[in-house]
Amino acid sequence: MAEPARLLEGPASRLCSVVVGSLDTDGGEHLPEVRMSVQTWGRLNEAGDNAVLVLHALTGDPHVVGEAGPGQPTPGWWPGLIGPGCPLDTEELFVVAPNVLGGCRGSTGPSTPAADGRPYGSSFPVLTIRDQVRAEAALADALGIRSFAAVVGGSMGGMRALEWAVSYPGRVRRCLALATCAVATADQIAWATPQLHAIRGDAGFAGGDYYPGPGPRAGLEVARMIAHTTYRAAEELQDRFGPAPQLGEEPLRGGRYAVQSYLQHHGRKLVRRFDANSYLVLTEAMNSHDIGRGRGGVEAALRRITAELTVAVVDSDRLFTPADGAVIAQAPACRELATIHSPYGHDAFLIETEQVFDVISRALQATPPAVRAATPRSLRPSGLW
């Protein structure tokens, strides 16, 4: 394990950078060296089996809990989840939160220098969720983790949690998939399409090779505004803003509506902290998500899961609908299909922490099936490195 880059919350929390080897992608491309950034809490036991993997969503990062600070522009996105006496109790568990492959918070991504010393930019390969999970498995190997007590994720993180349970059934005892799907739907891909076009259509995009310039800032801002609309429920936006003008502005005289100001605020916030190329790579990985690809379909893939499976849906989610979660819950290994009741839409998996943490706590208290000593060859992922 690499030496800690710095401490974020005292000696129990570390941010590390680990080189995990090379990667051959599902698209037939090759990354000669993959580096993974990871934040950890607690200690790994001698058996290497008390780890919990926490997987972030599209524009998240490894900083699950803790304050913002130098080098960390945002506070933790699931405050209260990790620590002594918390749902993920660091007195007992070793909690691992990696930055996703293709991201821009320390793991290898489009802004990372390639072999020629220049950022990959447009030459960075197309990734799948499965590619990202392979990199995370290599990270687990590097950290000495033999199996995970649980893998937890929401949205894009939930896609990776499911892929973990399907690809590595012998290494996952519990899987918690929140506000996610087994295969990307046409509706989800449709919402992503104008986001991708907004970024690529910005003159600052320069074909993806905009470093060290500012890049497609306006395009990324628009992409985030579109995405954020899908993250909230229509009823919440109406109740919160309605057709009211922004304070002190008159739409009929060139001013904005309050909801316009709200979306622009979130778009500009993302531009300050996220790389547009990473947004493209990760969005396209989500578009290609399909646990059934090459496995005989979704139903066959779900039968491969041996981990104790918990699925949670948000009743007002219009992006990853309750029906999407119900498909996952058809897996024979599913022990609970929980519903998060909220007016906030998809973002409720981050907002309604009391309900979400209750689901996580129940799943961890359940007695999981034993991890098999050896995974049958037919279930082992092929062509990993």
Provide the annotated active-site residues: 155, 317, 346
**Count of Cβ atoms closer than 10 Å to residue 29 Cβ:** 14
- 239 HSE (CA, 13 A, CB side): 8
C-alpha 283/C-alpha 272 separation (Å) is 18
Reference 225, options 268, 267, 173, 276; nearest CA is: 267
Is 334:182 a contact under the CB 8 Å cutoff? no
Reference 350, options 51, 9, 56; nearest CA is: 56
List all residues 6 or more positions away from 165 whose beta carbon is below 8 Å from its beta carbon. 151, 172, 175, 304, 305, 306, 307, 309, 333
Structure-block tokens of residue 184? 């990307």
Residue spans of beta strands (DSSP E) within the chain: 4-7, 13-24, 30-41, 51-55, 94-98, 148-154, 174-178, 308-314, 334-340
- Stated length of the chain: 385
- Residue 172: strand pairing partners: 148
C-alpha 216/C-alpha 381 separation (Å) is 37
C-alpha 344/C-alpha 193 separation (Å) is 23
DSSP 99: P
- Residue 340: strand pairing partners: 314
List all residues 6 or more positions away from 267 whose beta carbon is below 8 Å from its beta carbon. 220, 221, 222, 223, 224, 225, 228
**Tokens 């906030």, residue?**
344
Structure-block tokens of residue 117? 């010393």
